[in-house]
Chain A
Amino acid sequence: MNKIHVKTNINGDQVEFLADPRETLLDCLRDHVGLTGSKEGCGTGDCGACSCIFDGDLVSSCLVLGVEAEGKSIETIEGMAGREELHPLQKKFIEMAALQCGFCTPGILVAAKALLEKNNNPTETEVRYWLAGNLCRCTGYDKIIKAVMETAKDIRETA
């Protein structure tokens, strides 16, 4: 099996890796690049634990091939916090205890950030539908939705 040399940009850094063409972007992030923040829940695009931003679009990285990353720009959970400070969503999730085991949390944070960047005043219904592709088996979702709504409010007030 010939491996393919992939050059891509992850969280602002130029990264290169060798990928078997059958490997997903999620496999490549975790196994070749060492970014294990994105999780594999289902591997079939149902759970959203592997959510990443791929060339500006929110995707499940288990449904993207690693070789498709050539020349693209990728943002993962590892790029979310600033050098010194957590992202407002991360802070709010901790403050409001919007997580329990934490397995789904990276994907939910990446997806929620994508929502708030295009709409900083979503309704609760909009937040629930947007996050329908991110499964959480612990929290019952309520605290997650509230934390996203509260963060949106903070962003609007400081804007």
Chain B
Amino acid sequence: MQYHTPSSFSEAVTISNSSDGLVKYLAGGTDVLVQLKIGNNSPDHLIDIKKIPGVKEIALREDGGWTIGAAVSGVQLTNHKKLSREWPGLVEGMELVGSAQIQSRATLVGNLCNGSPAADSVPGMIAAGATVSVVSSSGTAEIRVEDIPVGPGLTNLGTGEIITAVNLPKRNKHEGDAYLRFIPRTEMDIAVVGCAVNLSLENGVISSAKVVLGAVGPKVEVATPAAECLLGEKLDENILSIFSDKCSELAKPISDKRGSEEFRKEVIGVIAKRAAKKAYDRALGNK
């Protein structure tokens, strides 16, 4: 394995396009090093992006949105007060990934590129309407986060296409997000089901909604029909019950050691309902 430390993303793209064999990128390394250890998908070329200026930065853009560098760690997100206040759902999703040791290194972009349908930070990013900046030999493109995963361990990114940052839109008043997951323990586990909800309100009525389900299909899925039942509503028990049933209906989980299909379908409804309530409370300004 050859180890590369490019000082720019264009250099990283050049290395990637001119290398034979499997190329992987190293930011936090909490997935890549495990793969290296077990010899599964072990790369021939490892490109460490952390020497590239800006990759560890969280920046407020002129349009009021945020740009989060590809190597920003979970701890950096948690410690960023303004970002955590505006996007608590996104940050709490990332916080659920692993231990304190993992949080020092793990990144949003790594969690996305690992392609797990149970990735805890991905539903929150998609619900937020986040995009990623992707650099390749043909320039830079901005792609919606939901268009990156295609299946377990698989993404839409080709050779020489590298995510440089996550972009969040401007946060307006009366908006709120939340992410909840179910695990049989309280820490250090992989989601059996997960759900992120992001809501905008006008006079207490939901004017836009995005609902994203994790770990109940081959990839993280946007649940548009479930989000649509919330529009124009104030989130009373009746609506919550319809919403919950809709999420259960949309879930297409498998049965595995973490949970059966039936169990997951039922629990996703419960978790989605709680996440919607939490997002709604946050949008109202109640913490």
Contacts and interface: CB of A to CB of B under 8 A. Distances in A.
B37 A43 contact: yes
A104 B173 CA distance: 47
A48 interface: yes
Contacts of B102: 45, 60, 63, 133
B54 to A, nearest CB: 18
B188 interface: yes
B3 A59 contact: no
B271 to A, nearest CB: 20
Given A43-B37, A132-B187, A132-B188, A21 B101 contact: no
Contacts of A65: 3, 26, 29, 33, 48
Contact of A21 (B3, B38, B50, B75): B3
B52 to A, nearest CB: 14
Contact of A45 (B3, B50, B101, B187): B101
Contacts of A138: none
A58 B101 contact: yes
Given A44-B37, A129-B187, A63 B1 contact: no
A51 B103 CA distance: 13
Contacts of B36: 22
A60 to B, nearest CB: 4
Interface string B88-119: 00000000001111101100000000000000
Interface string B1-36: 111000000000000000000000010011001101
Contacts of A57: 73, 75, 104-105
Range of interface residues on B (Cβ < 8 Å)? 20 to 34
B104 A54 contact: yes
Give the most central of A4, A45, A46, A65: most B CB within 10 Å.
A45
Contacts of B178: none
A22 B187 CA distance: 30
A21 B104 contact: no
A58 to B, nearest CB: 5
B102 to A, nearest CB: 6
Contact of B105 (A4, A43, A64): A64
A45 B37 CA distance: 11
> DSSP class of B's interface residues: helix, strand, loop or mixed?
mixed
Contacts of B2: 2, 21
B101 A51 contact: yes
B110 to A, nearest CB: 11
Contacts of A64: 29, 33, 105
Contacts of B30: 45, 63
Interface string B164-204: 00000000000000000000000110000000000000000
A60 B29 contact: no
Most central of B46, B99, B101 by chain A CB within 10 Å: B101
Nearest to A133: B99
Count chain B CB atoms within 10 A of each CB in A57, A111, A114 and give the residue with the most: A57
A31 interface: no
A63 B105 contact: yes
A2 B188 CA distance: 37
A43 B187 CA distance: 19
A105 interface: no
Interface of B: 1-3, 26, 29-30, 33-34, 36-38, 46, 48, 50, 73, 75, 98-102, 104-105, 187-188
Given A132-B100, A132-B188, 15 more contacts: A21-B1, A21-B2, A22-B36, A43-B37, A44-B34, A45-B30, A45-B99, A57-B104, A63-B101, A65-B29, A65-B48, A68-B26, A68-B48, A114-B100, A133-B188
The 10 closest A-B pairs by CB, nearest first: A133-B99, A21-B3, A57-B104, A132-B187, A60-B101, A63-B33, A133-B101, A44-B34, A59-B104, A132-B188
